[in-house]
Chains A and B, each alone.
Chain A
Amino acid sequence: MYGRKVKLRFFFIILILLTLILSTFLILRSLEENVVYFQSPSEIKVISEINKKKIRIGGMVKVDSISMATKEIKFIITDFKNEINVIYSGVVPNLFTEGKGVVAEGYLKDKNFFLATKILAKHDENYMPPEVKAALEEK
């Protein structure tokens, strides 16, 4: 028979392995549920069905498209091929400006309407979210 000590050690190793597997599984599953994908207006146009998941849309704020009211802000995000209407009630960043890059996070209502829950814009010329930069470079 194996000694008590060996058994205990064996038990510990099993326990550690189980914890590892469990936590990896947990982490990966939550990743799947909680990541936010980034898409451009053109990519939205070709999707087959409207997903309920949160996404990010990036592009430029179309010139003369911002209109504000007490409750909400409406504007259009364009990647110069396609565009999408965004409705948003919340805080806008300082550099949210027409003709400049923007990223909106939220949910798609249909292929033309997007309900944003968060707006990200450039901090300034040098500091911007990577998606905005990518969107600007694609231009």
Chain B
Amino acid sequence: MASLIGFYSLIFGLCVSFLIIFFSIKNFKNSHIFDKKIISFTFLQFFFVIVSFLGLILSFVHSDFSNQTVFNHSHTTKPLFYKISGTWGNHEGSLLLWLLVLTLFIFLFLLKSKNQSKKYRILTLLFQQIIIIGFFIFVIKTSNPFNYIFPVPKEGLGLNPILQDPALAIHPPILYLGYVGTSIIFSSTLAATSLNYISKEWAKHIKQWILISWIFLTLGILLGSIWAYYELGWGGFWFWDPVENVSLMPWLALTSLLHCILVLEKRLVLTSWVVVLSISTFTLSMCGTFLVRSGILNSVHTFANDPERGLFILIFLFCLVFLSLFIFFFFHKTQNKDSNSFFWLSKETSILINNWFMIYFLSVVLIGTTYPIFLEVISSEKISVGPPFYNKLIIPFLIPFLLAMAIGPKLNWIKSDLKKKFYLILFLIISLLLSVIIIKSLNINFLVNTILVTSAFYLFFITLRDFFIKGFKNLSQNLTHFGFSLLILSILFNNIFSTEIITNLKIGETFKTDKYKIIFENIEQKDEQNFKAIIGKFNIENSDGKTEILKPELRIYNQPTIVTSEADIKTNFLVDKFITMNLVQNQDYFNIRYQIKPFMLWIWFSVLLISFGGLISLFKKKYEV
């Protein structure tokens, strides 16, 4: 029943789209007042998608296995929480979530943009409706979440256990708010371009939307990263996995867009940049969806491989890109006045430099992600691009990037000089000395690490100084830059100081190195509702005699039958101790991995700081300089 309502809501939602388009065009041509009917219809559409989404959730909660999506991804023994989160833990449901966010954002946009011109609002709505219709057809035609199966199965196939996790339950909605939220930036930029509406006021208005997407995207990536850290048992936070990359690419584009829009807001320059970046941000989001949903990239996000789906998104993507390029080339007018030029040493230049670096990072990630696909198509050779590629190409460029991040905000608009800014050099010397002291005591590549740590410390101290001197002025920008320096520092020290021990042990055996002693004491079994657990007990002895007990688990899920290993992590302020165990079939040995990862907590914390900075900027518009 719930499925039926859900399905018809979808159809109705699509129909409302055509009504909206009809009334919008009528309103666009005729009257001067914005037609209130349009808002009501937009709400109606949003409402239908919500009903449809609730219908799917209800089917999941009731374990209605006549619904194919529920049958494929749920099971009666699954806890209620994961029944609900299972709704978006699959291809069909997650696309419904796409649609939900698309309609939610356009509805909010119409409510929030009352001060903007009527034509601009309507045109934005029209562009957004094109995307919405595309996705409606996509959902209904190729990935209907409400397919009926008969005879009705008694039991479902269950949700992949690695998705049965609290962080992963909220990861998709948060990520989507950012990822799909970029659609509204795309639509409104296209609308503003075609109406030649781009102005300082427009920049101020669109900045809010960019910030919202950016905050959610940052948090979504953070959640995914935390999940991968403890659930996949690889013991890292970023693997340059294609699926991570497709979320990073829109983030990079969005971040540079955020910086550009600040310039646009103050100085009305870089308009072309803003348009190009808005278009590419959403295009990258769509590309990401295409890559993970078409089955070209294989990962936990690839739910089901269906070439038809991939083809649909690809065609739709090309249409959108073509449309936006058309608008950009034929409607976009550059304001090339002399008053808009700026001196080489100015805030504008530093933001442009920042942008160039961002675009460079973006292209590195893009090439690394897509090159294997192209190569396989062209020469049928199978390759993979691993972390060394990214490390080599990104890390060296982080140095000037960090320095520019520290110095840039110190410059003035239009023209600036560095007189009375001796402290900039002073801080550089302090950072250099500090890094030399730290790195020298370690047995690692001196030059590269020192320069890297120096530039990160530099940004760290400069932003720290600003907290004391400027107080709440520019707090958001300062906070995010501070957070970024903290992130880079934590990552660097995490890399430098991490150690790991990998060994195979039988129960009761002990493994000794000069620093640690790992005693595998025993295992016990435990039965839970949806899995059986084998819990190992490990006693880890430090060289100074301190012992710690860690209990990693092996879980054997009943539906579907999958073994996963649950890491046991002892976290404190400075260091994470991380242990996983694995069982190899028909062997007495357990495969043990013990890792000591410093500053993990700080990595998560600094990303939180970064998004918190964005949040402040969203709520505190007045004090911006």
Interface residues of A, Cβ cutoff 8 Å to B:
19, 23, 26-27, 30-31, 34-38, 56, 66, 68-73, 89-98, 123-131, 133-134
Contacts and interface: CB of A to CB of B under 8 A. Distances in A.
A118 to B, nearest CB: 9
B557 to A, nearest CB: 9
A73 B505 CA distance: 12
B382 A31 contact: no
A31 B118 CA distance: 50
B356 A37 contact: no
A133 B382 CA distance: 12
B621 interface: no
A30 B392 contact: yes
Interface stretch (B108-116, B222-230, B296-304): B296-304
B160 A94 contact: no
A40 to B, nearest CB: 10
A35 B388 CA distance: 9
B591 to A, nearest CB: 5
A122 to B, nearest CB: 10
Contact of A35 (B300, B389, B586): B389
Given A31-B385, A36-B383, A124-B562, A96 B298 contact: no
B363 A23 contact: yes
A68 B297 CA distance: 33
Contact of A91 (B389, B563, B591): B591
B564 interface: yes
A92 B383 contact: no
Given A26-B393, A124-B160, A36 B384 contact: yes
Contact of A66 (B302, B372, B560, B587): B587
Interface in B368-393: 368, 371-372, 381-386, 388-389, 392-393
Interface of B: 160, 162, 233, 297-300, 302-304, 356, 360, 363-364, 367-368, 371-372, 381-386, 388-389, 392-393, 502-505, 509, 511, 554, 560, 562-565, 580, 582, 584-589, 591, 593
A31 B371 contact: yes
A34 B385 contact: yes
16 contacts: A23-B360, A27-B364, A30-B389, A35-B383, A36-B384, A37-B381, A37-B382, A68-B591, A70-B505, A71-B504, A73-B584, A91-B233, A93-B582, A98-B586, A128-B298, A133-B298
Contact of A92 (B304, B560, B582): B582
B383 to A, nearest CB: 4
* Smallest CB-CB A-B distances: 9 pairs: A38-B382, A34-B389, A68-B589, A35-B383, A130-B298, A97-B585, A94-B563, A124-B562, A91-B593
A134 B302 contact: no
A90 B595 CA distance: 12
Contacts of B389: 30-31, 34-35
Contact of B560 (A19, A96, A125): A125
B534 to A, nearest CB: 12
Contacts of A72: 504
